[in-house]
């Protein structure tokens, strides 16, 4: 699995690095987990935005049109 990963670099103060080492923090694991959480948060935020945009578009379509479209779709099956 190691060959299938990318390397990222972060600069921290020597003091922080020392504190983390004293506390036994696995820096690589902590960074991976934090980046995974951030990616998930941003993806959820984007999905929420897209959902709101889709809702705004759908609210512009008259209900009768939606019903007609669903009926036509069912009849074609």
Rounded to 5°, angle at Cα 48 from 44 and 49: 120
Say if CB 35 and CB 10 are below 8 A apart: no
Q: Going residue by residue through the chain (77 aa), what tens digit of pLDDT does each one get?
A: 557 899 999 999 999 999 999 999 999 999 999 999 999 999 999 999 999 999 999 899 998 998 999 998 998 87
Say if CB 31 and CB 8 are below 8 A apart: yes
Contacts of residue 35, defined as CB under 8 A and 6 or more positions apart, other chains included, come to: 8
pTM score: 0.69
């Amino acid at each position: 699995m190691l060959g299938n990963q990318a390397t990222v670099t972060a600069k921290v103060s020597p003091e922080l690095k020392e504190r983390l080492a004293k506390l036994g923090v696995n820096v690589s694991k902590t960074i991976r987990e934090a980046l995974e959480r951030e990616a998930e948060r941003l993806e959820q935020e984007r999905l929420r935005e897209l959902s709101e945009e889709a809702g705004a578009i759908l609210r512009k379509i008259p209900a009768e049109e939606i019903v007609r479209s669903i009926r036509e779709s069912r009849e074609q099956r």
